[in-house]
Chains A and B, each alone.
Chain A
Amino acid sequence: MPIAREREIHIRLEGVQKSFSELEVLKDINLEIQNGEFIAIVGESGCGKSTLLRLLAGLEKPSSGVIKINESPLQQLNTNARLMFQDGRLLPWKRVIDNVHVGIPDGKKEKAREALCNVGLENRAKDWPRTLSGGQKQRVALARALVNDPNLLLLDEPLGALDALTRIEMQDLIESLWQSSGFTSILVTHDVEEAVAIADRVILIENGVIRLNRQIDLERPRQRTNLEFRLYVEEIMDNIMKRKKSNIHPLKQRILTASM
C-alpha cells in the first residue's frame, strides 16, 4: 500500500461531458479515485483519453458535469497535478537541470538536482536536451513532473515512443517512485499489458463513457508470465476488441476464442 501523505487528494468526476463544437468526445464520465491509487486508462485512439487528462489538469473545463478535488469543484489550473506527455516536451533551449527547474518556478536548484538523482541522470545536468536519448528525455520529463512533489501525476502515454526494454525500465522506475512517494497517478496507455503491470485499476473508455472499470488484484512486483496476469490482460483486450469481433470471419473468430 502507498505510504500516507500529509496532503491527501480525492478525485471525483460527476457526469463529466466534453464537446468540441459539434464533436462530443466525453459523454458521461463518472469516476472516483482514492488517494494514492494508480489508475490506468485505456481505449481506442481518439476516444478522449488525453482530453480527460487535460480536464483533470485543469487546462480545460468540462462542457457539463463537475470534477471535484477534495470535494471542491476544479475551476482553474489544478495545482495539485503534474502532467507528463508522450513527446517529453523539454525546452530545447534550457539545459537538463533548468528543464527540471521549470517544475518549481520559485524553488531552489537543489531540489531539481535531487529529482534528477531520483531518475538516475544527475551526471547529465549540464547537457542540452538534444543530446539525450528518447528514454533519457522521458526521465528528465519525469523528474520535472515530480520535482515539486505533486499529489497527482498525470501521464499521457509517456512511454509510447520508447523501445520495449526501455519501456519496462521506465515502468519499474515510475512504479518505485510511486511506491516511495505515495502520489496518486493516472496513466493513459495503449499497452494493456503495461496497464495491468502497473495499475491498481484499469479503466476502459469507449464512446465517451467508462465501459470497464477493473480492479487488478495482483501482488507487486507483478510477474507478467503469471496466469492471473494473462487473464487480466485478455479480459481487457476482449472488451476492447468486442465491437470488432463481429467483423472477423467466423472461423478465425473461433480460433481466436480458442486461443484465449
Chain B
Amino acid sequence: MKQWINKFSIKIIPWLVPLLLLISWQFLSSIGVIPKRILPAPMEVIQAAQTLMSTGELYEHITVSLGRALFGFFIGGLIGFLLGIFNGISRYSELLFDTSVQMLRNIPHLALIPLVILWFGIDETSKVFLVALGVLFPVYINTYHGIKSVDKGLIEMGKAYGLKGRALFFTVIFPGAMSSILIGIRFSLGVMWLTLIVAETISSHSGIGYMAMNAREFMQMDVIVLSVVLYALLGKLSDVIAKYFEGKLLKWDI
C-alpha cells in the first residue's frame, strides 16, 4: 500500500508546479492583470485549437511538420549512423572521411538557410535537407565515439573466444556502443525540432511554423501561443519515446 502511494506521488508531484502556473495564468488573465494582446489566457488557446481542429487545418499543419521532421531525421540519422559505424570499425574509412566530417560539423547548419532557399526554393526539400544536416552530426559523433570506446578487453575476449567479423560486431561492438548511440539520437531529436521551427518560421507555405507566422499577420495571439505549445508537446513526446527505447535497449545497465 505504502509503495503504491509512493509510486503514485512520484508520477504526480512533478506536475504540481506546471499545473499551479497554468491556473494562476488563467486567473491573472481573467481578472485582466495579463492583457489579452500580450498573452491570451490558456482557455483561449484551447478554444483556438478547437476551432482549427474543426476545420481540419490543425491536423494538416501538424502532419506536414511531423512528416518533414521524421523524413529529415531518418535521412540524416541514417547517414550519420552508417558513417559513424564505418569510421568506427574501419581505419581506412576513418582516414578517408573523419577529418572532412569534423570540418563540416563546425558549420552551423542554420547559417545555410539563405543558401538552401536559393538551392531548393521554399518547398519541402529545403526543410528536409536542413533537418537532415542538423541531425547527421550528433548521430555521427556519438556513434563513432561509441564504437571507438568499446572496452578493448571485451573485444580481446570476443576474439579469444573465436568471434570475428559480423559475430564480433553484433555480440560485442554494437551493444557496447549502444548507450552512446542512443545519447546521440536523443540529442539529435532536439536538433530536429529546433531546425524545423527555424526553417518553417522563416519560409514556408504550411506546417506549424507557417501557422504561427500567418497568425502574426492577423494578430491572432492565441494561434501563435498554440504553435509554441504544439512544438513543446511534440518535443516532449519524442523525448518520451526515445527514453522508452533507451529503457528497453539498455535494461542491463539500469
**Contact B252 A105, beta carbon cutoff 8 Å:** no
Contact A91 B162 (CB under 8 A): no
B253 neighbours in A (Cβ, 8 Å) = 92-93, 130
Q: Chain A 73-98, CB within 8 Å of chain B: the 1/0 string?
A: 00001010011010101011111000
CA distance A194 to B171 in the complex (A): 34
A95: chain B residues within 8 A (beta carbon): 252
User: Taking the nearest CB of chain A, how far is it from the CB of B186, in angstroms?
Assistant: 19
Q: Could you tell me if A91 and B172 are in contact, using CB atoms closer than 8 angstroms?
A: yes
Partner of B163, one of A105, A130, A144: A105
Does A89 contact B154, Cβ atoms closer than 8 Å? yes
How many angstroms from the CA of A246 to the CA of B50 in the assembled complex?
A: 92
Q: Is A57 touching B160 in the complex (CB atoms < 8 A)?
A: yes
Q: Which residues of A contact B178 (CB under 8 A)?
A: 93
Grouping DSSP codes into helix (H, G, I), strand (E, B) and loop, the A interface class, with mixed when no group exceeds half, is loop
**Residue A132 is within 8 A (CB to CB) of chain B in the complex:** no
Is B4 interfacial (CB-CB < 8 Å)?
Answer: no
Which residue of A is nearest B157, CB measured? A89
Interface residue? B36 (CB, 8 A): no
Residue B218 CB within 8 A of the other chain: no
Contacts of B158 in A (CB 8 A): 102
A102, B252: Cβ atoms under 8 Å?
no
B153 and A103 contacting across the interface, CB-CB below 8 Å: no
Least CB distance from B178 to A in Å reads: 7
Which residues of B are found within 8 Å of A229, using beta-carbon distances?
none
Q: Quick one: which of A118-132 are within 8 Å of B by CB? A: 128-130
How many residue pairs link A and B with beta carbons under 8 A? The number is 47
> For this complex, into which size category does the number of interface residues on chain B fall?
10 to 19
Q: Is the CB of B175 within 8 A of A91?
A: yes
Contact A59 B167 (CB under 8 A): no
With an 8 A cutoff between CB atoms, is B216 at the interface? no
| Interchain CA distance A144-B158 in the complex, whole Å | 12
Q: Is the CB of A59 within 8 A of B156?
A: yes
Nearest CB of A to B225, in Å: 45
Interface size class of A (residues with CB under 8 A): 20 to 34
User: Given B153, B160, B162, B172, which contacts A87 in the complex, CB threshold below 8 Å?
Assistant: B153
- Residue B153 contacts which of A82, A85, A102, A105 (CB distance < 8 angstroms)? A85
Q: Indicate if the CB atoms of B160 and A59 lie closer than 8 Å.
A: yes
With both chains docked as a complex, state the minimum distance between the C-beta of B196 and any C-beta of chain A, in angstroms.
Answer: 34
The B152-185 residues at the A interface (CB cut-off 8 A) are: 153-154, 156-163, 167, 171-172, 175-176, 178
Cα distance, A83 to B171, chains bound together (Å): 18
Central interface residue in B162, B171, B172, B175, by most chain A CB within 10 Å: B162
A135-177, CB < 8 A from B: 144
Q: Which residue of chain B lies nearest to A87 when distances are taken between CB atoms in the complex?
A: B153
Pick the residue among A93, A94, A105, A129 that contacts B167 (CB under 8 A): A105
Shortest B164–chain A CB gap in Å is: 9
Within 8 A of B (CB), among A30-64: 57, 59
Residue from A83, A91, A103, A144 within 8 A of B154 (CB atoms)? A91
| Residue contact A103 to B161, C-beta cutoff 8 Å | yes
How far, in Å, is A99 (CB) from chain B's closest CB? Answer: 10
How far, in angstroms, from A89 to B151 measured CA to CA in the complex? Answer: 9
Which of B157, B160, B176 has the most CB atoms of chain A within a 10 A radius of its CB? B160
- Which of A77, A82, A85, A92 has a CB less than 8 Å from the CB of B159? A77
A82 cross-chain contacts in B, Cβ below 8 A: 160-161
A93 touches B252 (CB 8 A): yes
Chain A contacts for B172, CB-based, 8 A? 91
For residue A148, give the distance in angstroms from its CB to the closest CB of chain B.
9
A93 contacts B175, CB within 8 Å? Answer: yes
Q: Which residues of A contact B (CB under 8 A)?
A: 57, 59, 77, 79, 82-83, 85, 87, 89, 91-95, 102-103, 105, 128-130, 144
Given A59-B160, A77-B159, A130-B252, 18 more A-B residue pairs with CB atoms under 8 Å apart are A59-B156, A59-B159, A83-B157, A85-B153, A89-B153, A89-B154, A89-B157, A91-B172, A91-B175, A92-B252, A92-B253, A93-B176, A93-B178, A93-B252, A103-B161, A105-B163, A128-B252, A129-B252
The 6 closest A-B pairs by CB, nearest first: A89-B157, A93-B175, A83-B160, A93-B252, A128-B252, A89-B153
24 examples of A-B residue contacts, CB within 8 angstroms: A57-B160, A77-B159, A77-B162, A79-B162, A82-B161, A83-B157, A83-B160, A89-B153, A89-B154, A91-B172, A91-B175, A92-B252, A92-B253, A93-B178, A93-B252, A93-B253, A94-B252, A95-B252, A102-B158, A102-B163, A105-B162, A105-B163, A129-B252, A144-B161
